[in-house]
Structure 1
Amino acid sequence: MDLLSFIMDEALILVPVLMVLGKIIKQTQLIPNRFIPLSLLLISIILTSVMLGLSFEAFIQSILIAGTAVFGHQLFKQTTTARQ
């Protein structure tokens, strides 16, 4: 099962956007690290609603998009960072 097959093509561009925004948030240290995924979810809800309109489907898409961005970041981080 491919996670990206559940995300609409129009909303797929938001995955790298959220990854970049997450990196910016982390670098500026405006928000504690534990709240970055939640803030990305809120940003995803806003951006997806702007792109797709206010609907239940847009809300589900925003959760999938934020989850994919956070999961992708963690997968990359945990496979490339040396264990101590």
Structure 2
Amino acid sequence: MDFQEYIKPELLILIPVLVAIGYGLKKAEWLQDKHIPVCLGVIGIVLSLLWVLVGSIPFETTNAILEAVFTAIVQGVLVAAAAVYANQLLKQEKKTE
């Protein structure tokens, strides 16, 4: 299965954005490496929520609001996971064993 089946095409741009943010967080002395994936998850959710809010979903009912929040959470987690995976692929590619 291809991850692109699950991530909305408009949000694929968030993967390299989150990879770049992850590199920036890696250089931050105040943040431990183990917290970077969680931070990327939160950032991914927030950016996905912004995408959903400016999207074409009318927020007239409670169901529409819940659907928007659910979509933002799922898409944010998926793009963050893809960004962490991409980072690990790049990291493993550099290793010589």
* Partner SS for 1:55: helix
Per the alignment, residue 31 of structure 2 pairs with 31
Q: What does 1:1-84 correspond to in 2, within 5 Å? A: 1-53=1-53, 54-83=68-97
Relative to the length of structure 1, the TM-score reads 0.89
Q: Which runs of 4+ in 1 moved over 4 A?
A: none
Q: 1 CA distance for matches of 2:30 and 2:5?
A: 34
What code does the residue aligned with 2:45 have? Answer: I
Q: 1 CA distance for matches of 2:86 and 2:78?
A: 12
TM-superposed CA distance for 1:82, in Å, is 2.4
Deviates more, 1:59-68 or 1:1-10: 1-10
Could you say which structure has the larger radius of gyration?
A: 2
Q: 1 CA distance for matches of 2:95 and 2:40?
A: 23
Q: 1 CA distance for matches of 2:30 and 2:89?
A: 24
CA RMSD of aligned residues (A): 1.2
Q: 1 CA distance for matches of 2:96 and 2:31?
A: 26
Aligned residues: 83
